[in-house]
Amino acid sequence: MDQYIIKGGNPLVGEVEIGGAKNAALAILAAAIMTDDTVRLENLPDVNDINVLLEAIGGIGAKVERVDRHTAVINGSTIGDISVDYEYIKKIRASYYLLGALLGKYKKAEVPLPGGCNIGSRPIDLHLKGFRALGATVDIKYGAIVASAPDGLHGTHIFMDTVSVGATINIMMAASMAKGNTIIENAAKEPHVVDTANFLNSMGANIKGAGTDVIRIRGVEMLHSTNYSIVPDMIEAGTYMFAAAATRGDIVIKNVIPKHLEAITAKLEEIGCEVEEFDDAVRVISAKKLRRTHVKTLPYPGYPTDMQPQIAVALALASGTSIVTESIFENRFKYADELTRMGACVKVEGNTAIIDGVDKLTGARVSAPDLRAGAALVIAGLAAEGITIVDDIVYIQRGYEDFEGKLKSLGAEIERVTSEKEIQKFKLRIG
């Protein structure tokens, strides 16, 4: 099992380039099969989840050509199967985007029911409710969602009970090829929702209002070819911004959209970091002891839940008591015990973590419980005194491209190792 071994204590300094957004690319890859023409996608992040979805799309018969690490050409005209294999959804929930895409294009789809994951139960009732409102019959049979609309889908008015990124995108995809107009109210406003709408519009869809809480869609019969470049990843960017904060570093994070990072920037300034914004970059300077703050995760443009573990690590090193409230997922403090192993003082009560800042963290052996918490534990290891070993980094590789390479370029002492021998070699090398 791959692990990271880290010698902490070096402030991270330099420049890092951000890749395409995983959560936009997953939706856009699914939507790419909604036309029989060829679609070229650029700025795809080279991370495991993307590779799995490309396999799933190939698995239902689409032509998939990986031009290079960040570019793929897809042609959905050869799709012969509307049922997605369980092995894919088992690996990534976002395979459920094939439901909206196949239902929109073929008026039928069969996708295994995604299970929960480490951060919460994650039901998909809103997705299914939306498809039913568009006129599809949706049943759960033999562990799969079987949806069909032999007479076609028809536009309607959908009010989302909860703000859901996945349900907004899935319904938007299906509605873009329904007869008539659809209105989605209380829609999610995340940049990846907007990027998916822009992608669909570049294929000839008619979607207005993405990025606001009311999305209006006029269905079209056909979609056509397009070349599209994925939006930069705000969560990858935010992760490096907090790596600068926790290691007392100075990093320029390039190829970002600063507007997408406003909630993250605001919290960094609150805890005492300096943040400079440029057209497509931000610079984070962390020169002094961090200050405490309170944060509550919210749908965009609020503070993102995918940035919750990262701020918690910084607050573990701040002066005073901070409160972190998780309002989106019910089980997203699994890293707290691991952080406590490193000397942090974190008390979790329900959906709140009370963090009393300490002067320093010390290295330990910890396990990544999920993608974002894994990245946060790596930041903790970089800020800590001594050696940290992070297990289960397979979670981190799902969503961060070349994590250790980029961190090394910023002066981090980190290595991905696969054996005890390599661990000993690292320890010898750093003396």
Binding positions for ligand EPZ, rule: CB under 6 A = 22-23, 26, 94, 120, 122-127, 162, 164-167, 188, 305-306, 328-329, 371-372, 399
Task: Provide the minimum distance between the beta carbon of 221 and ligand EPZ in the complex, in angstroms, as a whole number.
Answer: 28
Task: Provide the minimum distance between the beta carbon of 54 and ligand EPZ in the complex, in angstroms, as a whole number.
Answer: 15
Task: Provide the minimum distance between the beta carbon of 156 and ligand EPZ in the complex, in angstroms, as a whole number.
Answer: 17
- Tell me, yes or no, if 117 is annotated catalytic: yes
Type of residue numbered 2: D
Give the DSSP H/E element, type plus range, for residue 25.
helix 22-31
- Name the token pair of 272: 């005492």
Task: Provide the minimum distance between the beta carbon of 297 and ligand EPZ in the complex, in angstroms, as a whole number.
Answer: 8
How far is CA 167 from each of CA 35, 40, 100, 339, 347, rounded to the nearest angstrom?
A: 21, 25, 9, 33, 33
How many CB atoms sit inside 10 A of residue 77's CB? 12
Helix (H, G, I), strand (E, B) or coil at 422: helix
Task: Provide the minimum distance between the beta carbon of 306 and ligand EPZ in the complex, in angstroms, as a whole number.
Answer: 4
Task: Provide the minimum distance between the beta carbon of 162 and ligand EPZ in the complex, in angstroms, as a whole number.
Answer: 4
Residue of 13, 73, 113, 117 with catalytic role: 117
CB 41 within 8 A of CB 32: yes
Cβ proximity to ligand EPZ: between 41 and 318 the closer is 41
Pairing of strands 137-141, 274-277: unpaired
Residues paired with residue 324 on neighbouring β-strands, in sequence order: 295, 353
The stretches of 40-141 forming alpha helices (DSSP H) are 48-59, 86-91, 97-106, 125-133
Task: Provide the minimum distance between the beta carbon of 171 and ligand EPZ in the complex, in angstroms, as a whole number.
Answer: 10
Cβ proximity to ligand EPZ: between 10 and 196 the closer is 196
**3-class SS shares of the chain: helix, strand, coil, % to 5:** 35, 30, 35
Cβ proximity to ligand EPZ: between 195 and 413 the closer is 195
CA distance 207 to 224: 15
> Exposure string (b/e) for 227-240, b if CB count within 10 Å is 16 or more?
ebebbbbbbbbbbb
How far is CA 254 from each of CA 106, 227, 243, 276, 322, rounded to the nearest angstrom?
A: 40, 23, 15, 12, 30
CB 369 within 8 A of CB 395: yes
CA distance 157 to 134: 9
Q: What is the CA radius of gyration of the chain?
A: 22
Cβ proximity to ligand EPZ: between 12 and 235 the closer is 235
Give the DSSP H/E element, type plus range, for residue 217.
strand 214-218
Cβ proximity to ligand EPZ: between 126 and 253 the closer is 126
CA distance 422 to 125: 46
Residues paired with residue 241 on neighbouring β-strands, in sequence order: none
Cβ proximity to ligand EPZ: between 158 and 384 the closer is 158
Cβ proximity to ligand EPZ: between 91 and 122 the closer is 122
Task: Provide the minimum distance between the beta carbon of 362 and ligand EPZ in the complex, in angstroms, as a whole number.
Answer: 27
Catalytic machinery residues: 117
